[in-house]
């Protein structure tokens, strides 16, 4: 009994000291990309891969995408194979014309949202938003490189999605 009480006391002391630690301040950064589309929102959503949980892979020119759990609904998991890493993404929000994913296992706690917004009966707008905590990056050069790299990569992806959505 004494051993159990001692172990419990040590666990409580450890938990107390962990709770007393001050977290590193966040440094959230966002990028938003958009494109006007000459198609109704529901048609555009299907064309840009919004109904396919791995559809984004062809626009980001990644090595591959694998669905490891679910089909794109909340809680679904996919892995994206980039040139430098394999990244786990979890669907954390979904509407009929959007989804948001999180990369919880990266030091920058990255999120992305892809959406098609109706403008009128025959036009829509593609909006892709990224947000991440750059405090997890080692220095200003890494922060600048991450920002600029995403700016180029995702603008190219949005341009490709717009071309696919606007195709006859």
Q: Does residue 6 or residue 104 have the better pLDDT?
A: 104
Q: Is the dihedral of CA 54, 56, 59, 64 positive or negative?
A: negative
User: Can you give the CATH number for the domain in which 134 is found?
Assistant: 3.30.530.20
pLDDT digits over 25-67, tens only? 899 999 999 999 999 999 999 999 899 999 999 999 899 999 9
Residue 7 lies in a domain: no
Residue 81 lies in a domain: yes
Residue 2 lies in a domain: no
Place 148 in a pLDDT band, splitting at 50, 70 and 90: very high
- Tell me which residue range forms the domain holding 145: 25-166
Query: pTM of the entire structure?
Result: 0.83
Closest CA to 132 of 115, 161, 116, 154: 154
- Measured distance CA(145)–CA(143) in Å, rounded: 5
pLDDT digits over 7-18, tens only? 333 333 344 444
Q: How many domains is the chain partitioned into structurally?
A: 1
Place 114 in a pLDDT band, splitting at 50, 70 and 90: very high
Residue 15 pLDDT:
42
Residue 89 lies in a domain: yes
Average pLDDT for 140-165? 96
- Measured distance CA(24)–CA(13) in Å, rounded: 22
Residue 9 lies in a domain: no
Q: Where are the alpha helices (DSSP H) in 48-118?
A: 57-60
């Amino acid at each position: 009994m004494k051993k159990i009480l001692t172990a419990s006391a040590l666990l409580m002391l450890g938990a107390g000291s962990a709770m007393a630690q001050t977290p590193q301040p966040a440094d959230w950064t966002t990028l938003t990309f958009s494109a006007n589309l000459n198609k109704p929102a529901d048609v555009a959503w299907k064309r840009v891969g919004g109904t396919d949980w791995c559809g984004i892979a062809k626009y980001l020119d990644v090595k591959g995408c694998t669905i490891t759990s679910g089909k794109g609904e909340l809680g679904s998991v996919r892995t994206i194979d980039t040139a430098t890493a394999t990244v786990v993404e979890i669907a954390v929000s979904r509407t009929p014309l959007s989804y948001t994913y999180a990369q919880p296992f990266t030091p920058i706690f990255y999120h992305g949202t892809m959406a098609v917004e109706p403008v009128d009966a025959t036009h829509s707008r593609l909006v892709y938003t990224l947000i991440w905590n750059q405090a997890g990056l080692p220095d200003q050069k890494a922060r600048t490189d991450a920002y600029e790299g995403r700016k180029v990569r995702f603008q190219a992806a949005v341009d490709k999605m717009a071309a696919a959505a606007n195709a006859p």
